[in-house]
Amino acid sequence: MKFRSKLMLLFVVVTGALSAQNTSNVITTATPFLTIAPDSRSSAMGDIGVSTSADFNSQYWNAAKYPYTTDEFGFTFSYTPWLRALVNDIGLFYLSGYYKLSDLHAISASMKYFSLGEIQWTDETGFGLGTIKPNEFALDAAYSRKFSDYVTGAVTFRYIYSDLSGGATQQGSEDYRAGSSFAADISSFYTKETEISGYDVDYNVGLSISNLGNKMSYNETEQYFLPTTLRLGTTWGMVIDEYNKLSASVEFSKLLVPTPGGYDAVDAEKDAQIRNDMNVLVGAVRSFSDAPGGFKEEMQEIMWSAGLEYVYDEMFFIRGGYYHESAIKGNRTFFSAGAGFKMNVLSLDVSYLIPTDSTSPLANTLRFTLSFGVDGLQKMINGQ
């Protein structure tokens, strides 16, 4: 099996996409684990996070939100048992933290680790070469700053490592090696308080471009785009009374990666070679107009989601959401729900995913997030 085909299979396994099983036109990339929402709050709202209020997991979605956090510093850990409807040994681990240098500045960092469990490695003929344990991880650091009372910006630098062969090689064929790459995120956040019909309302807009970096290679000949993603979203939060608050969010996202078949619809190998040789920035620009199906398919490449969050006394949280991806682009369409509880130092959040297709490998996906904030610790010390 050619490595490009193996990468396609990996994409299906990692993302839980269904449409690779039919005549779809899925955009595949290296390191698709980077696109998996790591935290319970955002995943409970339909994988929304670029415009929601600042929290400890802002590093993944939009690091520009950190200057608006109430805690001086904090950190969080999330765990997701992945695709448990298929296997029981794949998992995503996420650790992030931040520190506010002042009301204007913040620094932050995170680590995302993805274990693909045990996989039987074979040669081109299907002969078994043993068991491997592939894994991938990303390490990043960010700096965020307020430009005004309403606008912030951030830049994130990321190192990505992907070992899909577990160190194994195939005799008689081209060796596969671990791949690595560097990437960056650029993000911005706008927030303002206003009043509508006597209610206090927070209005947020978030924008980010994530995983913009050099291609990744697993051999001497082929290069693969990273999952460079554009996200744009808005959130409206209404304070109902002293104890109750309700927010609604909408988010749109798109891969800034060339579409298969957009450069030679007849010769798939030639089309793949053109995309293989294409510059990352050129590919990002052309991704808005290269779909072989024209404007209709370009619109199908836009994923969208909507979510709600209810907060009681800043202690209890109930969330729900919906995520939509076109059937020909992966068909990851699902509802989600979750809840959270905050008590002084610690916060615990849980989310649950409900696919619209009962056969989806994403069925029964749970996420767990545990967060720690310094403000809660100070209150505990002071006996509040």
| pLDDT exceeds cutoff 60 at 2 | no
10 Å CB burial of residue 248 (0-12, 13-18, 19+) is: middle
Task: Work out the average pLDDT over 66-74.
Answer: 91
Reported pTM: 0.89
CA 380 – CA 225 distance, rounded (Å): 48
Q: What is the pLDDT of residue 384?
A: 52
CA 20 – CA 349 distance, rounded (Å): 32
10 Å CB burial of residue 310 (0-12, 13-18, 19+) is: middle
Inter-residue contact 178 to 206 (CB < 8 Å): no
Inter-residue contact 17 to 330 (CB < 8 Å): yes
More confident residue, 264 or 320: 320
Task: Work out the average pLDDT over 22-35.
Answer: 84
pLDDT mean across residues, the chain: 87
**Which of 93, 46, 95, 20 has the alpha carbon at shortest distance from 372?**
95
Task: Work out the average pLDDT over 318-347.
Answer: 93
More confident residue, 13 or 345: 345
Of 154-168, 174-188, 323-337, give the range with the top mean pLDDT.
Answer: 323-337
HEC secondary structure over the chain: CCHHHHHHHHHHHHHCCCHHHCCCCCCCCCCHHHHCCCCHHHHHCCCCCCCCCCCCCHHHHCHHHHHHCCCCEEEEEEEEECCCCCCCCCEEEEEEEEEECCCCEEEEEEEEEEECCCEEEECCCCCEEEEECCEEEEEEEEEEEECCCCEEEEEEEEEEEEECCCCCCCCCCCCCCCEEEEEEEEEEEEEEEEEECCEEEEEEEEEEEEEEECCEECCCCCEECCCCEEEEEEEEEEECCCCEEEEEEEEEEEECCCCCCCCCCCCHHHHHHHHHHCCHHHHHHHCCCCCCCHHHHHHHCEEEEEEEEEEECCCEEEEEEEEECCHHHCCCCEEEEEEEEEECCEEEEEEEEEECCCCCCCCCCEEEEEEEEHHHHHHHHCCC
In angstroms, how far is CA 248 from the centroid of its own chain?
A: 20
| pLDDT exceeds cutoff 60 at 378 | no
Lowest mean pLDDT of 1-10, 25-34, 65-74, 263-272, name the range.
1-10
Give the domain ranges of the chain. Answer: 3-381
For residue range 103-131, list pLDDT tens digits in order.
999 999 999 999 988 777 666 666 666 77
Q: What is the pLDDT of residue 92?
A: 94
Q: What is the pLDDT of residue 189?
A: 98
360 confidence band (pLDDT: 50, 70, 90) = confident
CA 302 – CA 224 distance, rounded (Å): 21
Q: What is the pLDDT of residue 84?
A: 79
Q: What is the pLDDT of residue 213?
A: 95
| pLDDT exceeds cutoff 50 at 172 | no
Q: Which CATH architecture has domain 3-381?
A: Beta Barrel (2.40)
Q: What percentage of the chain has pLDDT greater than the value 90?
A: 62
CA 83 – CA 364 distance, rounded (Å): 8
